[in-house]
Structure 1
Amino acid sequence: MKAFRYTALGADGRRHRSVGYAADAAALRDRLLDARLHPLVIRRALLQQPGRLRLTEAEAARLGRDLAQLMTSGMALAQALALLETRETPRMGAIAREVRQRLIAGEPLSRALEVADGTPARFLQALARGGEASGRQSEVLAAGARSLAAADQLKKRLITLCLYPAFVILVAFGSIAIYAYAVLPSLEPAFEGMGGDLPAQTRAVLTFGVIVRVLMPVLGAVAGGLAVALALLPPARRLAGDLVAWLLMRGKRSPLRDFVFANLASRLAVMLQAGVPLAPAWRLAREPVTIASLSRALAAQDERLMEGVRLSEVLRRVAVCPPDLIHYVQMGETSGQIAAALNDGSADLAARAQEAIERVLSVLTPLVIIVVGGLVGLITMMVFQGLLAVGDAVAM
C-alpha cells in the first residue's frame, strides 16, 4: 500500500483534499471516480514507504471495539467494515477496505487482518483466531479492545512521565553547548599571553570547551546517522530494540519486564475468558511479543503446555518471568479461576511498572537539575577566576 495526496472535484463543485491509500495511483483514481469524485491531482505522499499499513494500539482498540459493537447489533462483518471504511481516517479506512475485500474473497477475519502491520495488529489477528475457535467473535474482540486500550493508556502515561526529564537533559546539553560555542570562545582572547599565570581551573575549562567543540559535531553526525539507519532499515530497528530491551529487562525489578508480562497476562486472560483452550490461548497471547529473546523463551513452552503441564510451571521455566505473576497463577490454579488471577496479576504488574518509573524519574529529574546547575556554576566560577587573574596582571 502507498500513500497519495489528492485533490478531487465533488458533484457539488467543491474541491476535496485528503490522503488516500492504494496499490498505485490508478487504483486510487478508480476509487475516487466510484465515489463520484473527479480527481484533479494525485501525487505520492512524501516520506511514505510502500508496504502494509501499521496500526497503533489506540487504533487497534478502536477497530476491535467498533467491530464488536456492530456485530453485537446483528450487522454482518463485511457490512460493519464497509461502514467503518467511510467513517474512519484515510489510513484506517484503507485497512477496513482491504480487510472487507479479503472477507468477500472468502478469507477468515484472522487472515484478512494480516493487511495491517505492527504488534497491535498481530494481537487483533490473534483475537480473531481465538474468536473463530470459540465461536464468540464479538466478545473476544470487545475484551481484546479493552486490553489494548488499557495498554495504550499505560504506555502514554509512561511516555508523559519521561517527557520532563528528557527536556531537562536536553536543556543541560544546550547549556553546555552555549558555554562551549559562545561564552568561552569570546573570553579566550582575554586569556592569551597569561601563560602559567592563568589558574589551572580556568585552563581546564578552556580545554573542556575545545574538546566539546571538537566532539559535539562528531557525536551529532553519529547520532544523525543512527537516526537515519533506524528510520530506514527495519533490521537496524529490530537489533536496536532487542539490545535496549535486553538491557532494560535486567535486574530483579525491571519496569519493562513488568510491562511486557502485564500485557501478556492480560491477553492470555482474554483468550481464556473467551473459552479458548490454554495451549492455543498461550500461542495467541505470546505472538505479539516482539522482544526476540523473550519471544523465543515463550515459544519454547508451547509443547509443554500441549503435554498438559500447568501454566505456573511453564512460567517458572521462563527465566525473566516476574515471581509475582507466577504466584497469581498458582492461586488461580488452586481456585480454578486462572483468567481472573491473570487479570489481577496484569493489573498489579502494570501498576508496579508505572510506580517504579515514577520513583526513578522523581529522583532523576532533580538530580539532573542539580548536576546541570552545579556544572554551569562551576564553569562560571572558574572563568571568573581567570578574569580576576587577568585583572591582577594588568594592575601589576
Structure 2
Amino acid sequence: MKAFRYTALGPDGRRLRGVSYAPGAAALRDRLVEARLHPLTIQPTLLQQRGGLRLTDAEAARFGRDLAQLMTSGMALAQALALLETRETPRMSAIAREVRQRLIAGEPLSRALEAADGGPARFLQALARGGEASGRQSEVLAAGARSLAAADQLKKRLITLCLYPAFVILVALGSIAIYAYAVLPSLEPAFEGMGGDIPAQTQAVLTFGVIVRVLLPILAAATGGLAVAMTLFAPVRRSAGDGVARLLMRGKRSPLRDFVFANLAARLAVMLHAGVPLAPAWRLAREPVSISSLGRALAAQDERLMEGVRLSEVLRRIPACPPDLIHYVLMGEHSGQVSAALNDGAALLGARAQEAIERLLSVLTPLVIIVVGAMVGLITMMVFQGLLAVGDAVAS
C-alpha cells in the first residue's frame, strides 16, 4: 500500500484535495471514480513506508475498541469496518478497507488484520485468533484494546520523562561545539609564538578543541548514515533495536524488562480471561514481542506448555523474567485466578518501570547540568589563564 495525494472534482464542481492509500495510482483513480469524483492529479507522497501500514498502540487500541463496540451493538463485522472506513484517518481508513476486502474474500479476521504491520497490529491479530478460538470476539477485542491503551499511556509517560534530559544533553553538546568551532579558533592566534610559555591547562583546552573539530564531523556523518540505514533497511533497524534492547534489559531492575514483561502479562491475562487455553494463549501473547532474543526464549517454552507444565515453571526457565511476576503467577495458580494475578503483576511491573525511569532522570538531569556547567567554567578559566600568560609575556 502506498500513500498518494490527490486532487479531484466533486459532483458540485468543487476541488477536493486529500491523502489516500492504495496499491497503485490506477487503483486510487478507480476508487475516486466509484465515489463520483473526477480525479485531476494523483501523486505519491515523498516519504513512503516500506511494507504494510503500521499501527501505533493508540491507533490499534482505538481500532479494536471501536470494532468491539460496533460488534457488540449487533452490527456485522464487514458493516462495522465499512463504517470505520468512512470515519478514520486516511491510513486507518486504508487498513479498514483492506481488512474488509479480505473478509469479503473469505479470510478470517485474524488473517485479514495482516493488512496492518507493527507490534500493535500483531497483537490485534493475536486477539482476533483468541476471539475466534473462544467465540467471544468482541469481548476479547475490547479487553485487548484496554491493554493497548494502558501500554500506550505508559510508553508516552516514559517518553515525556526522557524529553527534558535529552534536551539538556543536546544543549551540552551544542555548547561544547560552539566552544570548539567558534571560541577556541578565534583565540588560537593569540597564543602563537609563545611555545612552552603557554600554561599546560590552556594547551590541553586548545588540543581538546582540535580533537572535537576533527571527530565531531565524523561522528555526525556516522550517526546520519546509521539513521538513514535504519530508515531504509528493516534488517538494520531490527538488529540495532535488538542490540540496544539486550543492553537495556541487563540488571536486576531494568525498566525496559519490566515494561516488556508487563505488556506480555497483560496480553496473556486478556487471552486467559477470554477462555483461551494456556498453551495457545501463550503463543498469541508472545507473538507481538519485537525483541528477537527474548522472542526466541519465549517461543522455546511453547512445547513445555503443551505438555502441561505450569506457567510459573515456564517463566522460571526464562532468564529475563522478573521474579515478582513469577511470584504473582504462582499465587494465582494456587488460588485458581491466574488471569487476575497476571493483571496484578502487569500493573506492578508497569508502575515499577515508570518509577525507575523517574528516579534515574531525577538524578541524571541535574547531574548533566552540573557537569556541563563545570566543563564550560573550567574551559573558560583555562583560556583566561592562557590570555593572562600572554599579557604577562607582552608586559615583560
Deviation at 1:138, TM superposition (A): 0.3
3-state SS of paired residue (2:8): strand
Deviation readout 1:260-285 (Å, 9 max, x if unpaired): 00000000000011010111101100
Deviations along 1:131-175, one digit per CA (max 9) or x if unpaired, are 000000000000000000000010010011111111000000000
Of 81-90 and 49-58, the range deviating more from structure 2: 49-58
The count of aligned residue pairs is 396
The corresponding residue for 1:348 is 348
**Take 1:13 and 1:365, find their aligned partners in 2: how far apart are those partners?**
58
Superposed, 1:97-176 pairs within 5 Å as 97-176=97-176
Match of 1:335 in 2: 335
* Secondary structure of 2:308 counterpart: coil
How far 1:196 moved relative to its partner? 1.2
Q: SS at the partner of 1:68?
A: helix
Once the two structures are TM-superposed, the CA of residue 47 in structure 1 deviates from its matched residue by 1.6
8 Å contact kept, 1:128–1:137: yes
Amino acid at match of 2:297: A
Amino acid at match of 1:106: G
Counterpart code for 1:64 = G
Aligned to 1:6, the other structure's residue is in SS state strand
Match in the other structure for 1:78: 78
Indicate conservation of the 8 Å contact 1:2/1:51, yes or no.
no
Q: State the alpha-carbon separation in 1 of the partners of residues 50 and 373 from structure 2.
A: 47
Match status 1:237 vs 2:237: yes
Alignment of 1:43-58 (within 5 A): 43-58=43-58
2:96 pairs with 1:96: yes
1:17-39 CA-to-partner distances (Å, cap 9, x unmatched) read 11111111010001011111111
Report the alpha carbon displacement of residue 50 of structure 1 after superposing the two structures with TM: 4.4
Instruction: Note the 1:165-314 alignment, pairs <5 A.
Output: 165-314=165-314
* Identity value in percent: 86
Q: 1:23 to 1:50 in 2, by over 3 A?
A: farther
Report the counterpart of residue 395 of structure 1 in structure 2.
395
Secondary structure at the aligned position of 1:39 is classed as: strand
* CA distance in structure 2 between the aligned counterparts of 1:370 and 1:50, rounded to whole angstroms: 43
Deviations 1:181-200 (A, max 9, x none): 00001111111111111111
Q: CA deviation at 1:234?
A: 0.5
Letter in 2 for 1:214: V
Q: Secondary structure at the match of 2:289?
A: coil
Asked if the contact 1:268–1:282 (Cα under 8 Å) also holds between the matched residues in 2, the reply is yes
Do 1:131 and 1:140's aligned partners in 2 also have CA atoms closer than 8 Å? yes
Asked if 2 retains the 8 angstrom alpha-carbon contact of 1:7 and 1:15, the reply is yes
**Runs of 4+ displaced beyond 3 Å:** none
Whole-angstrom distance in 1 between the partners of 2:277 and 2:90: 37
Unaligned runs of 5+ in 1: none
Structure 1 stretch displaced more, 13-22 or 84-93: 13-22
Separation in 1, partners of 2:13, 2:152: 41
Q: Which amino acid aligns with 1:86?
A: T
Amino acid at match of 2:59: E
Alignment-derived partner of residue 24 in structure 1: 24
Cα distance between partner residues in 2 of 1:294 and 1:189: 57
SS of corresponding position for 2:146 = helix
Do the aligned partners of residues 367 and 50 (structure 1) sit closer, same or farther apart at CA in structure 2, a change above 3 Å counting? closer
Output the amino acid matched with 1:144.
G
Trace 1:10-21 onto structure 2 (pairs within 5 A). Answer: 10-21=10-21
One-letter code of the match for 2:183?
A: V
**Alignment partners' CA distance in 2, 1:50 and 1:218:** 29
How far off is 1:290 after superposition?
Answer: 1.1
Distance in 1, matches of 2:95 and 2:241, equals: 26
* Amino acid in structure 2 at the alignment position of 1:112: A
Q: Distance in 2 between matches of 1:258 and 1:160?
A: 18
Q: Tell which deviates more after alignment, 8-17 or 117-126.
A: 8-17
- Give the TM-score taking structure 2 as reference length: 0.99
Distance in 2 (alpha carbons) for counterparts of 1:247 and 1:327: 25
